[in-house]
Copies of this chain bind each other. A is one copy, B any other.
């Protein structure tokens, strides 16, 4: 086992009806006024907004609202949030939404007390002072509710970059009510699951030799994500399946899967960031295309681990290529694209994708990938 530090101070409050606790949490921490950050308005349709406001009112917390955070959140919205929070003297940021909303909220929280450009934290080191962050999660996917990461896209250059400010940029408290995800469209459930699987895979396939608990943890998470996604695509209102998927997606990127493994690969995420920065396809859809291709490209170094994965997750000891075929087939059954052609991206775009500024070459671990390698990976995904 490799050395590690694990430190995750986020408090998770999990269960049906728990949104009502947000006001109490804020009050306990001495918060008077929050900037509430939200997306396009689904929280007004599923009752989450109403429950949130009621809890804030009941606990005497004031708020101002910033709407319109989109998937692949833009830096311009982060700037907008920083301006509002400063003008209105907000002493915390409350994200109500999915990973994009939480990521934008983290950027805002880091930018409020900072004199320079908050983009500095996405291109350089982490912030040293951050406004308190809270969230109410509405879609399980990115794990942002229990880590310090934030991914934001710069409007003009379409660069998609990450800030890694844990533990300062971890939410202080995250409320996860799985029942608010009953109304998610099937594709969002599937893409969220694929994002979570890929988070686990970035660490699982990082060149580590076989590990005992760290491997089993990863395999247990992916197996749980698969089984419960299968259930939810048939019955989106199965509470236990929503809960199992939600907690597994949170665990998939809260630091636990990194324990004892050393650094993750992150090649799939970097390549996908380039894809979704240019085409604005869903992150989970991009990952369904990229991860199998990255594993195929690197199968010489991951062969044993891919076969272990096949045995313990899919239940059959098979050749690595067969395991990757099973993975792609499963994604297809879930309605996800697994080829660039499935989302209408032509072969001639490959050099443009590989040259996108979201990718800071070399990428990947343990194999360092060059632009030529990434072009080869994208050709495996044609």
Complex interface: chain B residues within 8 A of A380 (CB) = none
A26 vs B261: C-alpha distance in the bound complex, in angstroms? 27
Q: Is A123 an interface residue (CB 8 A)?
A: no
Q: A89: shortest Cβ distance to chain B, in Å?
A: 28
A220 and B224 within 8 A (CB):
no
Q: Is A259 an interface residue (CB 8 A)?
A: yes
Q: A376: shortest Cβ distance to chain B, in Å?
A: 35
With A5-B11, A15-B3, A243-B1 in contact, do A220 and B228 touch (Cβ < 8 Å)?
no
Q: Mark A239-263, 1 if CB is under 8 A from B, else 0.
A: 0100110011001000010011000
A14 and B3 within 8 A (CB):
yes
Complex interface: chain B residues within 8 A of A16 (CB) = 3
Complex interface: chain B residues within 8 A of A227 (CB) = 212
- Give the residue name and chain of the B residue nearest to A172 (CB): B7
- Give the residue name and chain of the B residue nearest to A218 (CB): B220
Q: Is A330 an interface residue (CB 8 A)?
A: no
Q: Is A30 an interface residue (CB 8 A)?
A: no
Q: A180: shortest Cβ distance to chain B, in Å?
A: 14
Q: Mark A1-43, 1 if CB is under 8 A from B, else 0.
A: 1111111111111111010000000000000000000000000
Q: Which of A7, A8, A213, A259 has the most CB of B within 10 A?
A: A213
Q: Mark A146-176, 1 if CB is under 8 A from B, else 0.
A: 0000000000000000000000000000000
A14 and B8 within 8 A (CB):
no
Q: Is A317 an interface residue (CB 8 A)?
A: no
A220 vs B13: C-alpha distance in the bound complex, in angstroms? 25
Q: A339: shortest Cβ distance to chain B, in Å?
A: 30
A10 vs B228: C-alpha distance in the bound complex, in angstroms? 31
Q: A229: shortest Cβ distance to chain B, in Å?
A: 11
Q: Is A217 an interface residue (CB 8 A)?
A: yes
Q: Is A216 an interface residue (CB 8 A)?
A: yes
A8 vs B268: C-alpha distance in the bound complex, in angstroms? 30
A244 vs B228: C-alpha distance in the bound complex, in angstroms? 29
Q: A5: shortest Cβ distance to chain B, in Å?
A: 5
Q: A136: shortest Cβ distance to chain B, in Å?
A: 15
With A220-B213, A221-B213 in contact, do A240 and B1 touch (Cβ < 8 Å)?
yes
- Give the residue name and chain of the B residue nearest to A250 (CB): B6
Complex interface: chain B residues within 8 A of A247 (CB) = 1, 213, 259-260
Complex interface: chain B residues within 8 A of A6 (CB) = 11-12, 14
Q: A146: shortest Cβ distance to chain B, in Å?
A: 9
Q: A172: shortest Cβ distance to chain B, in Å?
A: 10
Complex interface: chain B residues within 8 A of A260 (CB) = 14, 243, 247
Complex interface: chain B residues within 8 A of A240 (CB) = 1
With A7-B11, A18-B3, A260-B247 in contact, do A216 and B220 touch (Cβ < 8 Å)?
yes
Besides the known contacts A247-B259, A256-B256, 10 further A-B residue pairs in the complex with CB atoms under 8 A apart: A1-B244, A1-B247, A4-B15, A5-B12, A5-B13, A5-B14, A7-B9, A212-B223, A213-B244, A213-B247
Q: Which 5 pairs from chain A and chain B are nearest by CB? A: A3-B15, A216-B220, A7-B11, A1-B243, A213-B224
